[in-house]
Amino acid sequence: MENERINIAIVDDHPIVIEGLKTMLNSHPSFNIPETFTSGSEIIAFMDSKKIDIILLDITLPDANGTELCREIKKISPDTSVIMFSNRSERSIIMQSIQNGASGYILKNTSIDELVICIKGALLGDIVFCNETKQIIRKPSQNDLPIPRLTKREKQILQLVAQGKTSNKIAEELFLSPLTVDTHRKNLLQKFQAKNSTELVNQAIEYNLIEK
């Protein structure tokens, strides 16, 4: 067992991050990087035929939200440990990742030594965090609610609200009545427990549901 190499997949849409991680991790005698990926669909397709022990997974990918992708990966391969590796430091995203099955959350400014320790801990079944992430999750948060689950229509309306469009304008674009749009907006405010549209949009950005 000790001589077995640990297969680690890197999923990140920034080539410079991938190359840096590959160089650092390949220098470790126990680690093997069989492949790297820049999208969620690529890692899912790869997992159909290959065994991966650890996945270092970014939150923001061109075709997927990392927290949701983590849940999908764990369904396909429950034995694979997924460690989120991101610049996003919001407590809500960290906690949602763990709820979705992640074995840990590491910020990209962590040291290689700390990263190696976290990888080894995840392989032993531990939930691992870098030191900075530990400090973040210890702090009380005003918003520890799970990321709201939205319907396809709610996601469309949320994106248009973020663009500053009125209910009438949204109704025109989506071929709905203004009353229906207003109902969706009220439901969104309730799901996010937001007081107004500005707070709603800010929370949606924090949850990585819409782009800034």
Supply the pLDDT for residue 202.
80
Task: Work out the angle between the directed axes of helices 178-192 and 197-206 (0-180°, nearest 10).
Answer: 60
The angle formed by the CA atoms of residues 163, 85 and 44, to the nearest 5 degrees, is: 85
3-class secondary structure, 4: coil
Residue 58: which residues within 8 A CB-CB, separation 6 or more? 11, 12, 13, 14, 17, 66, 84, 85, 86
**Whole-number Å distance between alpha carbons of 52 and 33:** 9
Question: In the chain, pLDDT over 90 holds for what percent of residues?
Answer: 67
Using only the alpha carbons of the chain, give its radius of gyration.
19
Residue 182: which residues within 8 A CB-CB, separation 6 or more? 167
Supply the pLDDT for residue 1.
39
Supply the pLDDT for residue 118.
96
**Whole-number Å distance between alpha carbons of 128 and 115:** 10
Residue type, 9: A
Model's pTM, two decimal places? 0.68
Q: Give the length of the chain.
A: 212
**Whole-number Å distance between alpha carbons of 35 and 52:** 10
Supply the pLDDT for residue 182.
95
Contact 178, 63 (CB under 8 A): no
Supply the pLDDT for residue 212.
53
Supply the pLDDT for residue 140.
57
**Whole-number Å distance between alpha carbons of 187 and 184:** 5
**Whole-number Å distance between alpha carbons of 187 and 194:** 10
Write the burial class of residue 4 (CB in 10 Å: 0-12 exposed, 13-18 middle, 19+ buried): exposed
User: Could you give phi then psi for residue 160, rounded to 5 degrees?
Assistant: -75, -35
3-class secondary structure, 209: coil
Supply the pLDDT for residue 201.
87
Question: Which residues of the chain have a pLDDT value below 70?
Answer: 1-3, 140-145, 211-212
